[in-house]
């Protein structure tokens, strides 16, 4: 199983960067986990978007799903998706319509967003939408997906991807405040991809994110084999964040960078 980082920024993008987005591949099977601002452009550097089998959205904050809009426009209007020949494209009667897995309420949210300019069914028509909950266990080829609700500012799911071919496992923590639920869900993962958004806890008292040290603590408690920090701005010192997390984890920690590839 191979993980490629498409975007790792928090809700404001790094210069030239993208928000949350990750490409997971096993053989011909291909899943995009989250599709935040800027991710579709990054995806096109690594994969033909018409050959994506599924997109999985962890929660319905803009920095985790907003690039479903350009993705949907491409699936709708790109020459290769048309039934008649266009330029060098021969035409097709079977345009790509990837699965789109998103939490309950996603269809209504998508319709409100794109309905602002009168195109309510854009995303519904471009993708095959499946709304999921914590008990669902979908598969995409040899990739098995599972979900665990984690505490954030709205309904949010950590996502675990396991390969039935080689047994590799990826746990993605999505956005979350400190929680034992994420520790249990990520138990023994080959790689824990975990947010480290803030240098210190939120001052408001209402929490929805982790610090680098807390991310490392979660990795240690989960006995994860590797920890990669994500959802982290280039305005936060990466060396400091890595040091904080590594000290808590008790081993090396990496900070995600766009284009990085991890083999599990």
CATH number of the domain that residue 76 is part of: 3.60.15.10
pLDDT at 204: 77
Counting the structural domains of the chain, the total is 1
Is the residue at 244 inside a domain? yes
124-135 tens-digit pLDDT: 999 999 999 999
Per-residue H/E/C for the chain: CEEEEEECCCCCCCCCCCCCEEEEEECCEEEEEEECCCHHHHHHHHCCHHHCCEEECCECCHHHHCCHHHHHHHHHHCHHHCCCCECCECCCCCCCCCEEEEECCHHHHHHHHHHCCCCCCHHHHHCEEEEECCCCCCEECCEEEEEEEECCCCCEEEEEEEECCCCCEEEECCCCCCCHHHHHHCCCCCEEEEECCCCCCCCCCCCCCCCHHHHHHHHHHHCCCCEEEECCCCCCCHHHHHHHHHHHHCCCCEECCCCCEEEC
Does 224 fall in a domain?
Answer: yes
Beta sheet of 191-195, edge-to-edge order? 139-140, 143-150, 156-163, 169-172, 191-195, 227-230, 254-255
pTM above 0.75, yes or no: yes
Instruction: Spell 50-75 as b/e; 16+ CB within 10 A means b.
Output: eebbbbbbbbbbebbbbbbbbbbbbb
Q: Which pLDDT score, from 0 to 100, does residue 132 have? A: 99
Residue 241 in domain: yes
- What confidence tens digit (pLDDT) does each residue in 53-75 have? 999 999 999 999 999 999 999 99
Q: What are the φ/ψ torsions at residue 202 (nearest 5 degrees)?
A: -55, 140
To the nearest whole percent, how much of the chain has pLDDT over 90?
97
> Residue 262 falls within a domain, yes or no?
no
Q: Which domain holds residue 48?
A: 2-256
Residue 151 burial (CB count, 10 A): 14
pLDDT for position 128 = 98
* Summary mean pLDDT of the chain: 97
**Does the residue 261 lie in any domain?**
no
**Residue 201: pLDDT above 90?**
no
């Amino acid at each position: 199983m191979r993980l490629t980082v498409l975007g790792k920024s928090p809700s404001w993008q790094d210069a030239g960067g993208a928000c949350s987005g990750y490409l997971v591949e096993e053989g011909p099977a291909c899943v995009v986990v989250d599709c935040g601002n800027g991710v579709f452009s990054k995806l096109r550097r690594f994969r033909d978007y018409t050959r994506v089998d599924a997109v999985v959205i962890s929660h319905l904050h803009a920095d985790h799903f907003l690039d479903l809009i350009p993705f949907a426009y491409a699936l709708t209007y790109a020459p290769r998706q048309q039934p008649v020949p266009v330029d060098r494209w021969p035409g097709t009667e079977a345009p790509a319509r990837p699965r789109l897995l998103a939490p309950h309420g996603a269809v209504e949210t998508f319709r409100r967003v794109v309905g602002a300019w009168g195109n309510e069914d854009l995303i519904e028509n471009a993708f095959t939408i499946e709304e999921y909950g914590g008990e669902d266990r979908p598969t995409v080829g040899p990739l098995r997906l599972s979900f665990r609700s984690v505490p954030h500012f709205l309904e949010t799911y950590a996502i675990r991807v396991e390969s039935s071919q080689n047994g590799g496992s990826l746990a993605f923590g999505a956005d979350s405040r400190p929680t034992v639920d994420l520790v249990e869900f990520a138990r023994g993962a080959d790689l824990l991809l975990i947010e480290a958004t803030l240098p210190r806890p939120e001052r408001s008292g209402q929490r929805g994110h982790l610090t680098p040290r807390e991310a490392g603590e979660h990795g240690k408690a989960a006995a994860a084999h590797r920890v990669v920090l994500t959802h982290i701005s280039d305005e936060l010192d990466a060396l400091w964040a890595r040091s904080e997390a590594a000290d808590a984890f008790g081993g090396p920690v990496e900070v995600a960078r766009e284009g990085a590839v991890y083999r599990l």
